[in-house]
Structure 1
């Protein structure tokens, strides 16, 4: 019998932190669990990333209320994944913002992703019974949109495919701070199961072009200062390339998914084995890289059933 996914046995509570990354800008982080961001304007608040359930979202709200009593009016979601969006109802936001592509992915594969993620990583769905259903945006955009929280300008942009086809970043120009979602991680494995490996590096370049003073990444510690930002961007680039290049070689020779798995482990284990959620991400990363290397541009939909078929194949 195949062993369980690493994430199914990960039930340890993570310590949360609430770090100021710019004036009125905060990163809620949790030792490799999904992060959220907070943007405090003159008269209202925008939250970036909802968390997986309303109960977990309330942990973010508790931290917000320690620093401001302004109403939460906007919720920006960088992509469609269940662990990022299903806690949205807790905030009572007037606007829920996603890219057009991210909304389309909710329609196409949102329920399947929810079922898949819940099976793989049950700890991240604490209080799942309080989720009212799939999260849909009230507002969408194609390339970019701007929200004003009083005088504070917030730009929400699609800078390219990376973690998903619909990734958004949130840029606060008055402090040169960016909320990147899972395009950038810090000492946490990138989940690439819905990724676009060949586009990811250019999207990282597009982020670097803004010369952020700080970044609130999708997972891992807040990145405060240009040096830490640069290090994290290059570390993310190394992770993505180190995953894809061995698979590309295997696929070119007609090798199997199991061959690709072995090749990636040989390259990545020495560098990234101690990263948060590394073992959880690895099988999905290899499977997606194997598909992309064989010319499958649109990531196949993960379902609870497909998860187990892939995992059985890798157990060999």
Structure 2
């Protein structure tokens, strides 16, 4: 395979952001395959689900919110710990920043390494990096489930199982049957699996599917505005995960080294998924994590900017 620019360092084209109302007072902030945010407007305040990567980039979400309401942002919910989702949180001046207990533990364990790693991989997504104040720490954490009440409007936060990370949560708005899925679901975008749990993730998607949601905001890709689109988003994500892990398990069973395992997986997945956003970026990280899990490593190894580039040179250099 020919040498390519590291991760997404060559991706410099700004994306057009959209802000669409997908149910009454519920909005999807999307940007052509870049990380999404969800917004819920309640009686007494606004909840933002996933904060963007920097305070400067969060201002784009805030500007769209101000087009539809002058209510304060009272809650920022973090679907998981990754820097691209959380480091913009201070811009909202929210009363609470909410995450799972497991997500907070991952910030403690690997937050600094992840910040340096992600900025190095995809600098365009960290526009205004100089505005980052440091790691984002949740002020409120939970395990299992909790409800946030925006006046009379409930937003139910749920852990449905491990998947994209060990600390993933989703937000369910019962009055309109809408779900913010975070990176558990992608739509036309390649799932990033560097911290994934492949054996668990499809079962977590089954739990998500059981809601039969009327609409969904995935982690990346367009808002899913019908039940059919929601089903397609979940099914496509599941198919990618199953296909990738089956390929890697097969290679591990045959005793193949990581580089050969990657080449086999790339050949297997490229025809069906090669046109998905960030396929070339994600697949080396995805295969490396799948290789570890297939060898019995349950707790994902920490990615650092040094490990990132060493892995990339081994698999794509």
Q: Give the TM-score band, short-chain normalised.
A: over 0.9
Query: 1:46 — aligned with what?
Result: 47
CA distance in 1, matches of 2:260, 2:118: 25
Query: 1:219 — aligned with what?
Result: 220
Matches within 5 A, 1:57-136: 57-136=58-137
Secondary structure of the 1:198 match is coil
Displacement of 1:6: 4.0
Query: 1:175 — aligned with what?
Result: 176
Residues 234-290 of structure 1 show CA distances to partners (whole Å, capped at 9, x for unaligned) of 001011111111000001111111111111111110011111111110110010000
Query: 1:291 — aligned with what?
Result: 292
Residues 205-246 of structure 1 show CA distances to partners (whole Å, capped at 9, x for unaligned) of 000111100000000000001011001110010111111110
Contact 2:7 2:282 in 1 (8 A): no
Query: 2:275 — aligned with what?
Result: 274
Number of residue pairs aligned between Structure 1 and Structure 2: 316
CA distance in 1, matches of 2:88, 2:192: 20
Query: 2:250 — aligned with what?
Result: 249
Moved over 3 A (4+): none
Secondary structure of the 1:174 match is coil
CA distance in 1, matches of 2:121, 2:255: 29
Residues 6-48 of structure 1 show CA distances to partners (whole Å, capped at 9, x for unaligned) of 4010000101111111110000001111000100001100000
CA distance in 2, matches of 1:175, 1:315: 45
CA distance in 2, matches of 1:242, 1:62: 40
Instruction: Give the aligned CA root-mean-square deviation in angstroms.
Output: 1.1
CA distance in 2, matches of 1:309, 1:13: 28
Displacement of 1:202: 0.4
Query: 2:24 — aligned with what?
Result: 23
CA distance in 1, matches of 2:255, 2:4: 27
Structure 2 length as normaliser, TM-score?
0.98
Displacement of 1:2: 5.7
- Unaligned 5+ residue runs, structure 1? none
Displacement of 1:3: 4.2
Structure 1 length as normaliser, TM-score?
0.98
